[in-house]
Amino acid sequence: MSTATHEETLGFQTEVKQLLKLMIHSLYSNREIFLRELISNGADACDKLRYAALDNDALYEGDSELRIEIEHDAEAGTVTVRDNGIGMSRDEVIQNLGTIARSGTAEFLQQLSGEQQKDAKLIGQFGVGFYSGFIVADEVTVRTRKAGSDQASGVEWRSQGEGEFSVADIEREAHGTEIVLHLKGDAQEFADDFRLRSLVRKYSDHIEVPVRLPKVETAKDDDGNEIEGSEVTTWETVNEATALWARPKGEISDDEYQAFYKHVAHDFSDPLTWSHNKVEGKLEYTSLLYVPGRAPFDLYERDGVRGVKLYVQRVFIMDDAEQFLPLYLRFIKGVVDTKDLSLNVSRELLQQDPQVDKIKSALTKRGLDMLKKLAKDAEAYQTFWNTFGTVLKEGPAEDFANREKIAGLLRFATTHTDSATQDQSLADYVSRMKEGQEKIYYIVADSFKAAKSSPHLEIFRKKGIEVLLLSDRIDEWLMSHLSEFEGKNFVDVAKGELDLGEVENEEEKQAQEETAKAKEALVKRVQEALGEAVQEVKVTHRLTDSPACVVLPEHEMGFQMRRIMEAAGQTLPEVKPILELNPEHPLVARLEGAEGEAFGDLAHILFDQAIIAEGGQLEDPAAYVKRLNTLLTA
């Protein structure tokens, strides 16, 4: 190796400085994961070279036996991890080792607090990769060369993990990457052969690329005695070195499945569940899918990185192949290995291949079945729902074919529970329906409290009818694409005519008709007083405690969705609500006896209060306050 040339010192990206500082302190108690991360990166580099060499075999440079080698030097206090994978150019070194080129990085770092236990979990969601080396090393040296480039194109990168790093050009005979960790004083335990071997078996046994460590062997004579001075160093493969997903399920332990998940997902925590499946016939593929226990920090970036690792006949093709799962299952991680695609497939070709659509359909059902099975464990499923429930709610709009399956996986808060926790299934709701009840009732509001205290629920409480309480921003949009479940139609209790079906008897219905007829004059007067502010005024049987409520036409957008759309800059046509009066309430009785200006003021007050109760905004709050003050001082 010649002397380094063209050396320059550069500063880390601000986010890298923050990540390094927090990671080194927060992950101190689990520092052994550095080896897993570096081996995983080396395996990815080997996969990428194997794929690139499909079109250009010369990239192997006569060395097609892909591998990862680990050496240690106890005297020097170093551990070296090297691969003969794709390698990096100078620009790639600066980009990959000096910055974090992932969307949402700044938002992620804002969540870090300096509290070790909490931050360790967050960093686990992010995936520490190369930077994990600084957990055990006070200096890291990287030597690399891009496969197919000349030997003078080698690059050496050095840093002590603080504010800056240096990059220099070197000559390097071998392609691939070598990482030398100069161990900290309290991390010398890792410069031990037994320790390294045990860590490889613990974390990286599933890696398909052979992970090798040197082994010193001494020749023996015919009597079995060692021959002095005959020591020979050979390389011994420590890991299983076979594609885990290609092995029979019965031969794979839970620990191996969990270790493989951590490799493909770059996650610290165990998955909630997984599904390993081999399909033969018209389609031939193997899938290994996981449901994570934690959400990645960029979960809600619909354009973010997502998808499974794609292999064709065990040859790595691409990371994050998003074409094999729908967007609402973007949290699922794993591997798909198929014989039905070309080795030269690209992202563009995947979008046009009918085989991909068939595999996607099958994997979608597999993913939903996996969640259905998980739902049998209420505690584990609640963990899943609290983490990914909002994303799963995107499903009914995106996947008509599986809408009923998705509906069965949804969870809600209801009037039959005191907590805002969304833990009730639609099947639970249906099993508790009142005799004669044919519909599933729900209400949408900005918060659980607002939903639970809505005037629209008064008649339902009186009748003992359960109502779903929806308060997530996505809920109204969800329900616009979810028309029924098990033959029971969904009804928004704040829209259209209220029909409780056979829950109400004929006497009650007749009494309502008689009351409506008796109050026709009052309704007409209120309609004239409010004028264009309302579409219609009528008496209601929805209310037992409140004097009035506003109702929207059945097919109109609700108040919550209107506010979201308007906040996003959408201009929406004006919708006039229907005002419904409770004829049994003292304020309505007082209204009926009022005359002149007092009647108009009280009519407007009742209407404005009904708008406020729905979380709406008044067009003229000052006028409302003035009328209310007049009423209070009368």
- Binding annotation for ATP: 37, 41, 83, 88, 96, 103-104, 125-130, 177, 347
Q: Please, is 535 exposed, middle or buried when counting C-beta atoms within 10 Å of its C-beta (0-12, 13-18, 19+)? A: middle
Q: Is 349 in a helix, a strand, or coil? A: helix
d(CA 215, CA 95): 36
Instruction: Label residues 217-247 b or e (16+ Cβ within 10 Å = b).
Output: eeeeeeeeeeeeeeeeeeeeebbbbebbbee
What residues are paired with 182 via a beta bridge? 78, 139
Q: What dihedral angle (degrees, nearest 10) is formed by the CA atoms of 405, 410, 415, 421? A: 160
Strands 333-338 and 439-444: unpaired
Q: How many CA atoms lie within 13 A of 602 on its CB side?
A: 22
Nearest to 581 by CA among 616, 538, 524: 538
> The dihedral of CA 590, 595, 601, 606: what is its sign?
positive
Residue 259 contacts residue 202 (beta carbons within 8 Å): yes
Sheet holding 308-312, edge to edge: 273-279, 285-291, 333-338, 308-312, 315-321
Nearest to 145 by CA among 189, 87, 203: 87
Sheet holding 5-11, edge to edge: 5-11, 164-170, 154-159, 137-145, 176-183, 78-83, 68-73, 211-220, 226-237
Residues in the chain, overall count: 634
Residue 553 is encoded by which pair of tokens?
A: 């036409």
Task: Could you list the residues known to form a binding site, using ranges.
Answer: 37, 41, 83, 88, 96, 103-104, 125-130, 177, 347
Question: What φ, ψ does residue 470 adopt, rounded to 5°?
Answer: -110, 125
Continuous segment of H or E residues that includes residue 174:
none
* Neighbour count for residue 257 (Cβ, 10 Å): 20
SS3 labels along 222-266: CCCCEEEEEEEEEEEECCCCCCHHHCCHHHCCHHHHHHHHHHHHC
d(CA 435, CA 432): 9
Question: What φ, ψ does residue 596 adopt, rounded to 5°?
Answer: 55, -135
Residue 583 is encoded by which pair of tokens?
A: 């004829």
Residue 224 contacts residue 253 (beta carbons within 8 Å): no
